[in-house]
Amino acid sequence: MHNAAMTKYPSGTDDLGALRRRSRQSWLLFAAVALMLLVAGLHLAGAYGRSQALVDLAEQSRLDASLKVSLLRAVVERQRALPLVLSDDTAIRQALASPSPQSLEPINRKLESLAASAEAAVVYLIGRDGVAVAASNWREPTSFVGNDYAFRDYFRLAMRDGKGEHFAMGTVSRRPGLYISRRVDGPDGPLGVIVAKLEFDGVEADWRVTDKPTYVTDRRGIVLITSLPSWRFMTTRPIPDDRLADIRESLQFGDAPLLPLPFHRIEDQPDGSSTLEALLPGDGTEAFLRVETPVPSTAWRLEQLSPVKVALAAGAREMRLLMLAALVPLLALAAFLLRRRQVVAMRSATERLARTELEEKVEARTRDLSRARDRLETEIADHRQTAEKLQAVQQDLVQANRLAILGQVAAGVAHEINQPVATIRAYADNARTFLDRGQSAIASENMESIAELTERVGAITDELRRFARKGHFAAEPTEMKDVVEGALLLLRSRFAGRMDAIRIELPPDGLKALGNRIRLEQVLINLLQNALEAIGDRDDALIRVRCEETAGGIALTVADNGPGVPADILDELFTPFNTSKEEGLGLGLAISKEIVNDYGGTIEVDSSPSGTTFTVQLKEADAP
């Protein structure tokens, strides 16, 4: 009826025909607006869907490229070790120092065996004059033995700098590969160079399995490794004629023309990627998204092309469906409201609502609102009571955790107290005997010892009584050295046989955190108990406790070399009742995190099979 009240009723001279004409005009206008909204929505949704799909594709492409870079680097690093080891081989040095058929034949066989086991294309030894004297392919017709390689960059670099890497076309094998060289030194200077050639046929074959053309370029933009053989030794950008002549003269890439890659309509994207159209061998032109990733420890860059046609179409289709799913119900609702308004207008032309009916509805609505207000106030009161109960339960859990700790150390504390009590009894009996004998000086020494032992017992009981105190503790400047020493005092009785595994770097005097000593001791005891239980009785057990001032406040670190936290527990380590111990409740760390959060700090964990490290960040008391 609210819509009826907002409707401008026709005057007494208007008839139903006039209302019907206005109704038809309204529907024509609505249809035109709805059509424009649909057309504009489809266009905008398609554009947004394509842009979002391009962003998602770029992210996925970077992940794929990073994985390929990691695999490529692993292949290269494995082959780098071969020349490094062979350059220190005594037999190779002796063969280079005194070359002869008798000394070189074992070298040929050795290189042949190493090349097969290391999956190197060929491994060969070059004298200091640049002529190969031994090679793993010495049995083959295309043996490198006797060939002059003094003109090769990898030979010159190794002789000058001790090592070199050079990607080139083989002058004998006519196969491209990476030449990794190391200089072989003798007592009187360089003796020669050992070279391992790495070919990437396996890597390229793996890349060809996907529909994403992938290639590696050097700093000049020349394609070295590629999933499309026809793109090898092409360039990502034009090379000046003078530099092009030098490259061809060096025979690094044989007689390759070094033509630019068949890329067109290259458009850079804000995230560093780019879109382009590439002419594929036998498949025609296709649109791609190109991402680039550097290959660590080399001067290479890996570039990957991901097809965008399917991804863009899917992104546009998905966004258009979402747009239709949102817009069509809105248009249907608008049509419903328009129809409803017209029905109300037609009905209002013949009747008027009575004032009494309106007042009754207003009164009923007022009563509903009053009841709703009362219910809301009741719910608010219930929520407040629930919050207060939750806070009380939280305090009880913290107190229960402290009492649980006291229960665990109670037996050890009793032993810790019984020892000085027994000694006091012995000193007292001796003092009485000495007094009976008139030896008051010796009796006085016994009384002093009794006083010292009494102070020791008092310190233990005071620490227990203080730790068991219940209540809410406000934040105040707290000496971190007292926190560490107090926690160790309570733990020493329970873990007396394993306290030697703890290495402590006590904080300097005056280093104060914003918190409460009792609650901070509770946090440290929980962390140390977990660490002591984690290391068990292993011989190399070690726990490091360190407290230091940092730029962000104070960092308290507890690190152990235990087996680490299981992966299924680690993600919810600070969740209540989450534990890997059969006798544990899983409350210690949850309560510790709550305590640290109360004082504006944080607690983090880093775990691996070699150990676990907890880091508690606290606010420094004197910090602004």
Helix (H) or strand (E) holding 481: helix 480-494
pLDDT reading at 398 higher than 80: no
Question: pTM score, two decimals?
Answer: 0.49
pLDDT tier for residue 7 given thresholds of 50, 70 and 90: very low
CATH, domain range 89-198: 3.30.450.20
Angle between helices 90-97 and 101-118 (to 10 degrees): 140
Helix (H) or strand (E) holding 249: helix 241-250
pLDDT reading at 213 higher than 90: yes
Beta bridge partners of 615: 557, 604
The class that CATH gives domain 472-618 is: alpha beta
Rounded Cα distance, 247 and 231, in Å = 18
User: What's the mean pLDDT when you consider all of the chain?
Assistant: 82
- Determine contact, residues 124/111, Cβ cutoff 8 Å: yes
Q: Please count the other Cβ atoms lying within 10 Å of the Cβ belonging to residue 533.
A: 14
How long is the chain? 624
The full set of domain ranges for the chain reads 89-198, 472-618
SS3 assignment, position 413: helix
Mean pLDDT, rounded, for 192-217: 91
For the record, the structure tokens of 198 come out as 């790495």
Q: Which residue has the higher pLDDT, 449 or 80?
A: 80
Q: What would the pLDDT profile of 418-460 be if each residue is shown by its tens digit?
A: 545 656 776 687 778 888 888 888 878 778 767 755 765 665 5
* Nearest 10 degrees: Cα torsion 276, 277, 279, 282: 120
Q: What is the pLDDT of residue 421?
A: 67
Q: In what order do the strands lie in the sheet with 543-550?
A: 502-505, 543-550, 553-560, 611-618, 602-608
**What whole-number percentage of the chain has pLDDT above 90?**
24
SS3 assignment, position 363: helix
pLDDT reading at 205 higher than 70: yes
- Determine contact, residues 365/357, Cβ cutoff 8 Å: no
Rounded Cα distance, 41 and 46, in Å = 8
Q: Which residue has the higher pLDDT, 264 or 282?
A: 264
Q: Which of 84-88, 103-107, 261-265, 410-414 has the lowest mean pLDDT?
A: 410-414
Beta bridge partners of 166: 179
